[in-house]
Structure 1
Amino acid sequence: MTPALALFYGGLVRSKNVLSTFMHSFFALGLVTIQWVVIGYSLSFAPTVGGWIGGLDHMFLAGVGLEPRSGQTIPHILFMVYQLMFAIITPALISGAFAERVKFSSYVVFTLAWTTLVYDPLCHWVWGPGGWLGARGALDFAGGTVVHLSSGISALVFALVLGKRLGYPKQKMLPHDLTMTLLGAGMLWFGWFGFNAGSALTSGGLASLAFVNTHIAAGAGALAWATIEWVRHKKPSALGVASGLVAGLVAITPAAGFVGPMAGLGIGLAAGVVCYLGVLLKSRVGYDDALDAFGVHGIGGALGAVLTGVLASTVWNSAGQDGLAFGNTGLFIENLLSVVVAGVYAAGVSFVLLKIIDKVMGLRPAPEMEQEGLDITLHGEEAYATAGIGMRPAPDEVEPSAVKAPVVVAEVAPGE
């Protein structure tokens, strides 16, 4: 799913920043993998320390072998690597907010620290043995709060701390390749079946339910988003369909194994509408969430978690709980609490991390580097070779006289 996310995000940026955007996802595949097998899995799933964090029992995968964990049927090592998928894609989602304007070294430090200090504790609170939110009864089938809300809220904080892209919003910053984005969206839709149905940890009825709900919600989200565009602008867009289906996938994630298909349909429709409105916030409020990580993942994750507390039914999953719609206010309150706690915690830790990193090493490249594009200035390469040249020297290898002058881009007035 993370390479699919790279395609989805990569098509939405300008051509001079495609590879730098891809790197935010692909580098996470390696970085978070090593963090997870050394310490992350243990902090998330080892026996609890007061309900707040896992212990060090599984550092360097100690005790993670071929036998199943307690209460499971799949090998422990398979469960570990399956959970790694969630750990990798969560910080990669945040990159949608800071695309086109962050130093790569700062991204690396933030991703490593955020995974350790935000993702691992939240994962333990909700899914770990003895985690305090899970023990209170909060339900999150496949990551509404753990993955999407935490990354979306952190993305908003990152966008606010980092500031806007040069020229935004006066200069139009159009996607350079929507076919790439649509390909990524299709791969995400397919991969999400493993994301949600796989969370059943066994084949059978529960996995089938999650699979069906995932597909229905994605279709409903795409339809809702495109319909709003059709009514407002007289033209349904391909990007709107892609954004809507992802919104539906995000919102159904916490509910996938706890609600019936018609509830899944309702969640998908609601996500298409609410996330569309959420994306409009950035132009109204004035922050630059470049690729709508908060508007889709933050708002969609929160919506899905709350609606799980409303629509969950033991008719479909006897191991779950009935929601508010079936007379149980307790689940609704616990899921609402999990949204507030996860959101505040992720936002607070992200803010502190960003301020420290900015103070020590800086968050943004020099303005002239942003202007030329991060592919060349940070990675020394181009996605689309010009004049037969596919590689250029890194900035520190270029003679001062050879550095290009900043390009002056004319401002585009609204409506032009």
Structure 2
Amino acid sequence: MKKLLAILLAAVTVGFGSGAWADDKMAESAPVAATSTDVAPATGIPAIAPAADAVAPVVAPTPNKGDTTWLMVATAFVILMSIPGLALFYGGLVRSKNMLSVLMQVFVVFSLISVLWALYGYSVAFTEGNAFFGSLDKLLLKGVTVESLAATFSKGVVLPELIYVAFQGAFAAITCGLIVGAFAERIRFSAVLAFMVIWFTFSYLPMAHMVWYWAGPDGYLSAEAAEKLNATAGFLFQKGALDFAGGTVVHINAAVAGLVGAFLVGKRVGFGKDSMAPHSLTMTMIGASLLWFGWFGFNAGSALEANGTAALAFVNTWLATAAAALSWMGAEWLFKGKPSMLGAASGAVAGLVAITPACGFVGVGGALTIGLLAGVICLWGVNGLKKMLGVDDSLDVFGVHGVGGILGALLTGVFTSPGLGGSGIYDYVANKVADNYSIVDQVIVQATAVGVTLIWSGVVAFVAFKLVDVVIGLRVPEDEEREGLDITSHGESAYHY
């Protein structure tokens, strides 16, 4: 028995020793890999350069559950901004006889654009095509599965593509909803829907593609690779335009369409003579508060990751909005003698609009400055500029979203400067913030983006409204307008007394 145990023990010892010896020999014979500063395309992690005859394993990136959860929450926040946030904000500003019509327009436009986004919108905006339009490769979300991934702004960091689709779709829906405030209380419901289909297709989608479409950061491994990838990006992305969460794509784009609509639909019956005061500032305040809450998803969600940039966008959104509410209220108090709830709420929305393109790029000081300026300048936009234009922009869409969006887009070029506390522009080839930021050069780029948006949206909106006017007619009859659109267009009333 003792001999048997001795033999077994010897066999085990030899077995382990042989395995260790084999491992040592493999380690000795393996080529020594030289370290490299290259970045592995699939992971973004500093890689080890393999020998010529070795095969480097490719590790597929995996979505981080925290990033995915954050974008789901942010998407829900953006939906909250539209329904009920924007609907209540606008609804409270109109007369009681038109409250339901505004709620219907925002609610149904949100639904319509959501469906169109899945049918073809996402494909046109966020696939590779030319500098202005994407392809039709993802019609009906073809190929978008639970396994497909979308890039973020960090190498090797990805998201499930489905939640990226939903996040961007919520942006498209609220952008179209913003437009209805410009011609509220006198437009045909069918005309609103027909116009939205045309404008969404030929203005929102190309603007989103021009500003936001790119191949993602992972392929930016050399100057040559970067040049090739940039050539596949959207027109304004190639120019270097900065728009973190939609100053051009959302606010200026929608505001111009609204302004064109206000001109072409015409002024409300009794405008300048009859009282058209908001019927419920309580509803407007609730709506503004929901907008402010949801805007954290709108802006901080645009970081696409739960990281420091998202936190910066969150804080900037909070502070710029507060500063704008105070500056609008203070200026109104100074010139009119009394601070108003409408002024404070309008100022908050102006701050939200102005900080949107800048929120992930500027420091806190820049955000506070943008907010303070937005409150005062947008106050002028809804009073002085509106009178100069001679237009009945019912709910001051251009005065707030147009003026605030232009201001924010231009000041993004100023306060993104590292010298003023901004983030600068990240160089994905060098994997660091680029040197020698030029405020003047970037402001010129920003102004170019603003100009393209004004012209593109204005032309598309003009053509779309004219087509709808010929086929359907833009405006309800005068007797229906006087009675109110709630009853005449929808057969219902928002209130029963």
> Do the two structures share a fold, i.e. TM-score over 0.5?
yes
1:285 corresponds in structure 2 to: 389
> Is the Cα–Cα contact under 8 Å of residues 93 and 278 in structure 2 kept in the other structure?
yes
Partners of 2:482 and 2:337 lie apart in 1 by 34
Matches within 5 A, 1:60-209: 60-66=140-146, 67-71=148-152, 72-129=157-214, 130-209=233-312
1:282 Cα deviation (Å)? 1.8
Q: Is the 8 A contact 1:54 1:124 kept in 2?
A: yes
Q: Tell me which of 29, 35, 53 is aligned to 2:116.
A: 35
- Number of corresponding residues: 384
Q: After superposition, give the CA deviation of every residue in 1:100-133 in whole Å (9 maximum; x if it has no partner).
A: 0000000010011111111000000000121010
* Counterparts of residues 244-263 of structure 1 (less than 5 Å): 244-263=347-366
Equivalent position amino acid for 1:251 in 2: A
The alignment status of 1:317 with 2:423, answered yes or no, reads: yes
Contact 1:197 1:207 in 2 (8 A): yes
CA-to-aligned-CA distance 1:143-177 (integer Å, 9 cap, x gap): 00000000011111100011100000111201000
Q: Residue type of the partner of 1:32?
A: I
Q: Offset at 1:355?
A: 0.9
Cα offset, 1:318, TM superposition: 5.4
**Is 2:300 the partner of 1:220?**
no
Determine which of 369, 384, 389 is the counterpart of 2:480: 369
**Contact in 2 for aligned 1:313/1:320 (Cα 8 Å):** no
TM-score by length of structure 2 reads 0.75
1:38 & 1:311 partners in 2: Cα distance? Answer: 38
* Structure 1 unaligned regions, length at least 5: 387-416
Question: Which residue pairs with 1:294 in the alignment?
Answer: 398
1:316 Cα deviation (Å)?
A: 4.5
2:107 is matched with 26
Measure the CA separation in 2 of the matches of 1:312 and 1:54.
Answer: 29
- Cα distance in 2 for partners of 1:284, 1:57 equals 46
Give the Å deviation of 1:79: 0.5
Q: Is the 8 A contact 2:151 2:159 kept in 1?
A: no
Name the SS of the counterpart of 1:56 in structure 2.
coil
Q: Is the 8 A contact 2:119 2:139 kept in 1?
A: yes
Match for 1:296: what amino acid?
V
Give the one of 69, 94, 97 matched to 1:13: 94
Give the superposition deviation at 1:57. 1.2
Verify the 8 A CA contact 2:415 2:422 in the aligned structure 1: no
| Aligned counterparts of 2:340 and 2:277: Cα–Cα separation in 1 | 14
* 1:267 corresponds to: 370
- Is contact 2:417–2:439 with CA below 8 Å preserved after alignment? no
Q: Counterpart of 2:404 in structure 1: which amino acid?
A: G
Cα distance in 1 between the residues matched to 2:140 and 2:424: 36
CA contact (8 A) 1:271 1:303 kept: yes
Gap regions ≥5 residues in structure 2: 1-80, 215-232, 428-432
Structure 1 Cα separation of the partners of residues 115 and 290 of structure 2: 25
Rounded Cα–Cα distance in structure 2 between residues aligned with 1:317 and 1:202: 17
8 Å CA contact 1:12–1:291 kept in 2: the answer is: yes
Output the CA distance in 1 between the equivalents of 2:198 and 2:389. Answer: 29
User: 1: CA distance between counterparts of 2:481 and 2:242?
Assistant: 42
Cα distance in structure 1, aligned partners of 2:372 and 2:439: 24
| Deviation of the 1:285 alpha carbon | 3.3
User: CA deviation digits over 1:32-56, x for unaligned, max 9?
Assistant: 01100000000100112x2110001
**What is the TM-score with the length of structure 1 in the denominator?**
0.90
